[in-house]
Each structure stands twice: as structure tokens, then as C-alpha cells.
Amino acid sequence: MDVIEPTDHINVVTICGMGGDLISKILEKGRVKDKLVGVERLILQPNNGEKKLREWLIGHQYKIIDETILEENGKIYEIIVAEKAETAETYSELEYSFGRFLLQTKNEVFRKKWLSEIDKCQYILDSMQKASNNLNEKEQQVINKINEIKEVLG
């Protein structure tokens, strides 16, 4: 974003292959320095941290106009397309976590991603429970996440 100037008349910015947190920081730095003036569309592909990125977009008055999830060479990618909006949208926690458009389609890759996430969470939970007999707050958070994913997947 540092090299972009408003006089460049750039209307689409693509940021791919980084975490959602880092993409959010890049966008925030660009916003503060007026680098996003005139940018009509953002095409973003976070490797992780999609929820954080969606929160940044909605929090800065962007409208997510499309999302897709795909698998290539054994890797799962989410792509988020957003445009500046006149008014802020309202998202639920589920929509921030899973993606409004992705929740509507729940395609095979979406299901694969979240079933894998359940497996990871279950492994973490099992490890935590072996280490302690008490169900603590962290374990409850992992259980809640597993239940949320299962509810979304139906």
C-alpha cells in the first residue's frame, strides 16, 4: 500500500497469501494514509484469520459482495470480495466466523474445511483433558467452537 498514491487512480486492490490479521493491518495502514481513496473493490485471500478480516471490513464500512471457498493442491482458500458501502452492514457472529455467502452455499470444500477444524479442536480438547481433570474455561471455549461448527454443518 505504501507505493499507491491517489493520483494513480487504482480502483481495485488485491491482497493474497497472508493471514487475515496482517491483511487487516495493511488495509488499516492504507486507510489511515488515504491510500484507499478511490479504491472501489478489494479482492482478498487470507490464509487464516478470515473472521478478523471480515470484522475489519464491516467495521470500516465495506460490504462483502461475494465469497468463495476452493481447494487447490490440497490447500483450502477463501476469497473475499468487498466494496465500500454507504452504510455499515450488520453481521452475526456466525457470519463473521463462517462467511455470509459461504453459509448460504455450504459447498463440499466448506464442509471439508470445518470438519477438519472440528478434528483439530477435538485433538486440542483431548490433550487438555488428559492434562487436567477439571473442565476449565479454555476447554469450554473449544467445546463451544466444536458445537458451533457442528450446528452450522447441520
What value, to the nearest 5°, has the Cα angle with vertex 100 and ends 94 and 102?
Answer: 105
For 1-91, CATH number? 3.40.50.150
> Quick check: 44 pLDDT over 80?
yes
Instruction: Show me where the domains of the chain are located.
Output: 1-91, 106-154
Phi, psi of 140 (to 5 degrees): -65, -35
Worst-scoring range by mean pLDDT, 18-22, 76-80, 123-127, 146-150? 123-127
pLDDT, average across residues 48-58: 98
DSSP letter at 73 equals: T
What pLDDT does 2 receive? 79
- The pTM (predicted TM-score) of the whole model is 0.89
> Quick check: 132 pLDDT over 90?
no
**Per-residue pLDDT tens for 65-119?**
999 999 999 999 999 999 999 998 999 999 999 999 999 999 999 999 999 999 9
Sheet holding 75-84, edge to edge: 12-18, 41-46, 75-84, 62-72
What pLDDT does 88 receive? 86
- 100 within 8 A of 80, measured Cβ to Cβ: no
Kind of pairing, strands 12-18 and 41-46? parallel
Cell numbers standing for residue 141? 471455549
**Per-residue pLDDT tens for 55-68?**
999 999 999 999 99
